[in-house]
Chains A and B, each alone.
Chain A
Amino acid sequence: MTKTRLFYTAITILCIVCSIASLYIQNLYLLRVFILAAITAILALSVNILVGYTGQISLGHAGFFGIGAYMVGILNVNYHLSFWLCMVIAVLFSGLMGLILGLPTTKLKGHFLGIATLGFGVIVNGVLNNWMQVTGGPQGIRDIQSPTLFSIPLEYGNYFLGFIVACLSLLVLVIYLLIKSPVGRAWSCLKQDEITAYVTGIHVYRYKLLAFTLSGGIAGFAGALFAGYMTFISPDTFDLNQSISIITTVILGGSGTIAGPLLGTALLSFLNEWLRNFDELRLVIYGVILVAVIVFIPEGIYPFFKNKIISLFSRRKRVNQLKTSIDPHAGKDAVNE
């Protein structure tokens, strides 16, 4: 109970500090990197619901991301709806797409599910590229209105960053609450053993569909934010590369944890920017680092270091106990251990 309270307090303080700090960043380049990283983090959290918590896979998440962004673009530019209304519609619609993609996939597993989701991503990208009248084709959509929040113009990077950090924090909190709830328990059960889920009365399909819907909706939310920030969107942001890079971020950081996707996003964003110094070699180095991490730390960076630290502490404890059990006056507990 105190641990939960501590967590709440820490998160609240962190998000307030971040939101305020974001107002003081002067460097425009840095501001842009942070905002895009925050959007990537939201995407990573959304994939993590499927991959990390429910044991499903999604190789087409850029599809939801794109649907969210284009819903905002199309409704805002062509139909002049306000950004916030567009955003709500975008989230609902991409959630619905998640539900629809989830329907057949409740019967599919493993590779087949991978291929189905991959197909979804490719189809969405195809539609964005080719349905000229609506999506503008490869040229994309320009002049999307920047959102204004309670008369704060979010077109200024500092304000946008503050806003998006607040969104991200709220999302982390919601996911945390879900994971600790009976819903999270049901997800972890059907991830590890579906038959156990059946015999304990867990409506397996319903919980899988819930995961798909939430995941799709959150990715759509990231898309809407992206459209609002960039004010220009085109199909090449929402391609297969994007899907793969999101899932890599999650696996690299550590799927099935909250800190993992966030850490993965931070590291990869930093790496991406740093590698700009290397021009052509950039992609090669990037690839080598990714492969190295996945080969040597398959469980992901965050769980790896967490376990390292835990085992370090417990080893120290054991050494202490050995010492005390040699002592003739050692306490009874130490000997019993």
Chain B
Amino acid sequence: MNEQLMQVNNISVNFGGLWAVKSIEMDVKKNEILGVMGPNGAGKSTFLNVLSGLQQPSEGYLIIGTQKISQSKPWNMAKLGLSRSFQTVRLLRELNVLDNILIGGHMDAQKQAWDILFRTKRYRQKEKELVSRADNLIETLELSEKKYEKISRLSTEERRRVEIARSLMTQPNILLLDEPCAGLSPQETEEISKLILRIKEQGVTVILVEHNVKMIMSLSDRIVVLDHGQKIAEGTPDEIAKHEDVIKAYLGGSVNA
């Protein structure tokens, strides 16, 4: 239960003088939901960008398994088992739900020229396997009716679920969710919360960035609070709720409830 999956060491990101993320340290353990909260502009998305390889840290490094990673190509982080969703959903609008989810199967696909040109048996088997894996995800995420629907015709909440399905398709060890409930109604938020718990039950570690304090408090096993790029608190939801600096960051000054 307490096996460590990833260690974040002194990660900092500087945007032309502004420290969007400053000296963040944390451990990510197996099979937990780790909440990351903080007011707008606290550096949460930037931090996730570092974890998913889209942003190179100015300082610091990550340890995943036995590997030490300080500067990484963006496509390598997915190979190391990190997958993510975005604050504003990123999907291929022209494609349908199934095709979008299949994109997540890229790393496992059979890609040798020989297999593709001669449609070898193992190639066809692999393709079939990927489609059935996508089908399973479509079923668990209750998207069956929209399977062949184009993304541009889905609601925001459905798009969020498709994006999560695509992330899960990569079979990640750690799933990074950037405000998965932004722009959703309380009822839809409830649905996504249940989904996150189910994902955890499947044995996937979740790093949940959220604005909605109530939701993150109820879901997370542990919470890290960021403010102005720095970690100001870490602990269980109960500890965080009582933490003075957190109360100050949320009530004093910033407009977030």
Contacts and interface: CB of A to CB of B under 8 A. Distances in A.
A181 interface: yes
B107 A200 contact: yes
Interface residues of B, number: 35
Interface stretch (A9-17, A188-196, A290-298): A188-196
B209 interface: no
A182 B94 CA distance: 17
A202 interface: yes
Contacts of B78: 198-201
User: What's the interface size class on A, roughly?
Assistant: 20 to 34
Contact of A181 (B75, B99, B116): B116
Interface string B105-145: 11101110000110100000001000000000000000000
B116 A178 contact: yes
Nearest to A192: B92
Interface string B78-121: 11000110100011111100010011111101110000110100
A197 B90 CA distance: 10
Given A177-B116, A181-B111, A183-B116, A200 B106 contact: yes
B166 interface: yes
A229 to B, nearest CB: 27
Interface in A159-195: 174, 177-178, 181-183, 185-186, 188-189, 192-193, 195
A204 interface: yes
Interface of A is mostly: helix
A96 to B, nearest CB: 17
Contacts, number: 79
A203 interface: yes
A186 B77 CA distance: 17
Contacts of B45: none
Interface string B7-47: 00000000000000000000000000000000000000000
Given A183-B111, A185-B103, A177 B166 contact: no
B54 interface: yes
Contacts of A198: 52-54, 74-75, 78
B116 A201 contact: no
A185 B95 CA distance: 10
B75 A192 contact: no
A201 B74 CA distance: 8
A199 B94 contact: no
Contacts of B119: 177
B220 to A, nearest CB: 23
Interface in A113-159: none
Contacts of A185: 99, 102-103, 106, 109
Contact of A196 (B103, B105, B109, B127): B103
Contact of B90 (A182, A193, A204): A193
A196 B54 contact: no
Contacts of A178: 116
B170 interface: yes
A189 B92 contact: yes
B22 to A, nearest CB: 24
A260 B91 CA distance: 25
Nearest to B81: A201
Given A183-B116, A201-B106, A188 B92 contact: yes
A178 B119 CA distance: 10
Given A185-B99, A204-B75, A199 B84 contact: yes
Contacts of A192: 92-95
Contacts of B90: 193, 195-196
Contacts of B94: 192
A185 B131 CA distance: 13
B114 to A, nearest CB: 11
Contacts of B111: 181-183
A203 B52 CA distance: 14
A181 B114 CA distance: 12
Contacts of B106: 182, 185-186, 189, 200-202
Given A177-B116, A183-B111, A185-B102, A196 B91 contact: yes
A38 B146 CA distance: 41
B102 to A, nearest CB: 6
Contacts of B109: 182, 185
A198 B166 CA distance: 13
A47 B116 CA distance: 21
17 contacts: A177-B117, A177-B119, A182-B106, A182-B116, A185-B106, A193-B90, A195-B86, A196-B90, A196-B103, A198-B53, A198-B54, A198-B74, A199-B54, A200-B170, A201-B76, A201-B170, A202-B106
Given A199-B167, A202-B103, A203-B75, 17 more contacts: A177-B117, A182-B116, A185-B106, A185-B109, A186-B103, A188-B92, A189-B103, A189-B106, A195-B90, A198-B52, A198-B74, A198-B78, A199-B52, A199-B53, A200-B78, A201-B106, A201-B170
Interface of A: 174, 177-178, 181-183, 185-186, 188-189, 192-193, 195-204
User: When A and B form their complex, which 3 residue pairs have the shortest distance between CB atoms, in order from nearest?
Assistant: A201-B78, A182-B109, A198-B74
